[in-house]
Structure 1
Amino acid sequence: MGSLVMSFTSKRDAHTQLVLGMADRQGLDLQEMILRADFSEDQFEQAVNLCLGCTQPTACKCLLNSAGPQLNLPDYCRNGALFDQLASD
């Protein structure tokens, strides 16, 4: 049972980093936005949950590792609408 919890935690951690990385490449500092109360922790958890359901996390990680400071969101990004909305606010 411990390994199941551990693998879920590490998978969740990996997707948390993907969400933060993709947001950052869109010019969004989600951690700062949470501190300023412009974005809630519940919204962040929802974004991570959406990311957990993605079928392309390896491609996403490769994209983040190879892209410059900005990148266009891939079509498969399940948080694209959220990031667009946050960037326009």
Structure 2
Amino acid sequence: MASHNFLLALLLLFHFQKAEPKSMAMASGDSCKRKCRDIKIPYPFGMNKEHCYLDETFEVKCNHSIGSTSLAWIEGGEIDFISLPTHSLRIKGVPHVLFHR
């Protein structure tokens, strides 16, 4: 299961690089919440409203547990870090792997 989530996360990271600028501008409006406590939620991920994320595979929900915050991902797993510049998505319970170019 963990390897399935890891592969799915990699595929999604490559997929959202193709997002159209028009969609990004639409999702960058003030009505889209872009943080879950200290976790930044960059487009194409989003929550609450359909226009805030690329499609339903990128919808996340803010999860406040006692002492921790994470994003509940519709595709399964909990995300605790997203970075577009480094093409990183960290899912709780999946080992961290570093790739060098």
TM-score, normalised to structure 1, is 0.33
Q: Which has the higher helix share?
A: 1
TM-score, normalised via structure 2 length: 0.30
Q: Which has the higher contact order (CA 8 A, sep 6+)?
A: 1
